[in-house]
Amino acid sequence: MSAVRTHWASPGCLHSPRFSTRSVKIAVCVKFPATIKTLLLKQSFALTRLLNPPHSLSMSFSNSSCMDGSYAEIVVVRHGETEWNADGRIQGHLDVELNEAGKQQAALVADRLSKEPKISAVYSSDLKRALVTAETIAAKCGGLEVITDPDLRERNLGELQGLVFREAAKLSPKAHKAFLSHRTDQDIPGGGESLGHLFQRCTSSLQRIGNKHKGERVVVVSHGGVIRSLYKRACPNGKSGGKVLNTSVNIFHLCDEEWTIKSWGDVSHLQQTGYLESGFGGDKTSG
């Protein structure tokens, strides 16, 4: 397990002024009228930094047009760590269990969410690594029942599933090449999905959840590839959201068809346990 260095990814829809120490880089994805954008960003950034120490700082901006309770606040959490994450092995649709670190991470994010505003429902991918993480959260947040949705599954990576990533190019060169392609219609040999298909199924799932839970706060537990697709839906013209860490907290506001990211990549709850910075899983090329 690496030493703890809390990290937030940098959404690219609109960037605030940045500051950095050895451990923090902050940027925000917001939509404000141009006439007040700069003033609001400067004032909010300064106030947030004053009230929060750098190790716990996260984005806290949201779309002002949806502040009347007509939006759903969806807390999207990546599953806890698995041995395959640690080994750099490709999971996809294969049903891999949490390791001990992953179980600790799930307990910590559950404890955190139980102390925040009330959770109305918990949704999850039906794969064990996500489902066990979700069940841990649901038990801590009032004993809720987890609602599973296969559309929240990780991308099916076909022939690559089960391979160690660093060996994939040699063992399955066509699938590896398809995997690295930026084409959204590129399927992966062996029954793997295209990025476009992944995007359609997981964003449709989150939209259904948002429509059902307006005025409520819900949790969705899913996977790195799915969460990057959700980020792309909210910030279609933004830069990459970066690595999606195990049990990172990413908060979306859904106001009808309009999506806004309120918080991204927050792992402040993992200060005592740490998180996996290396190994395959959660980065821009993984599933």
Does 83 carry a binding-site annotation? yes
Can 79 be counted among the known catalytic residues?
Answer: yes
Does 285 carry a binding-site annotation? no
Does 79 carry a binding-site annotation? yes
Can 258 be counted among the known catalytic residues?
Answer: no
Does 84 carry a binding-site annotation? yes
CA–CA gap between residue 169 and residue 128 (Å, rounded)? 28
Does 129 carry a binding-site annotation? yes
Does 166 carry a binding-site annotation? no
Does 233 carry a binding-site annotation? no
Does 269 carry a binding-site annotation? no
Question: Which listed residue (7, 73, 135, 154) is catalytic?
Answer: 154
Question: Which listed residue (7, 73, 79, 269) is catalytic?
Answer: 79
Does 78 carry a binding-site annotation? yes
Which residues are known catalytic residues?
A: 79, 154
Q: Which residues are annotated as a binding site for substrate?
A: 78-85, 129
- Residues tagged in the binding site annotation: 78-85, 129
